[in-house]
Amino acid sequence: MTSLTWPRCRNARDLGGLPISDGGQVRAGALIRSDNLDQLDSHGLAAVQAAGISRIVDLRSAWECEKYPSPFANDERWLNVALTDPADPDVAEQDMFEQYRMLIDDYPHRFTAAVTAIADAPPGCVVVACHAGKDRTGLVIALTLDLLGVPLPAIAADYATAPETTTTNPLPELAPPHPDTILRVLAHLSMRYGGTARYLLQSGATSSQLTALTDRLH
The per-residue pLDDT for range 102-116, each reduced to its tens digit, is 999 999 999 999 999
Distance CA 26, CA 17 (A): 5
Q: If you average pLDDT over residues 119-130, what whole number do you get?
A: 97
CA dist 121 → 15, 31, 114 (Å): 17, 11, 11
For the segment 190-212, the average pLDDT, to the nearest whole number, is 98
Position 192 scores a pLDDT of: 97
pLDDT class of 2 with cuts at 50, 70, 90: confident
Query: What pLDDT score was predicted for residue 123?
Result: 96
With pLDDT > 90 as the criterion, what percentage of the chain qualifies?
A: 82
Q: In this model, does residue 76 exceed pLDDT 60?
A: yes
Contact 27, 218 (CB under 8 A): yes
Q: What is the pLDDT of residue 56?
A: 98
Q: Which residue has the higher pLDDT, 90 or 119?
A: 119
The per-residue pLDDT for 164 is 63
**Confidence class of residue 176 from pLDDT cuts 50, 70 and 90?**
confident
Does position 166 have pLDDT exceeding 60, yes or no? no
Q: What is the overall mean pLDDT for the chain?
A: 93
- Please give the span between the terminal C-alpha atoms of the chain, in angstroms, as a whole number: 14
Residue 11 has pLDDT above 60, yes or no: yes
Measured CA to CA, the distance from residue 177 to residue 73 in angstroms comes to 29
Residue 173 confidence (pLDDT): 74
Q: 172 pLDDT exceeds 80?
A: no
pLDDT at residue number 93: 84
Report DSSP state, residue 19.
Answer: B
29-68 pLDDT per residue, tens: 999 999 999 989 999 999 998 999 999 999 999 999 999 9
Over residues 183-209, the mean pLDDT reads 98
Instruction: Identify the pLDDT of residue 4.
Output: 87
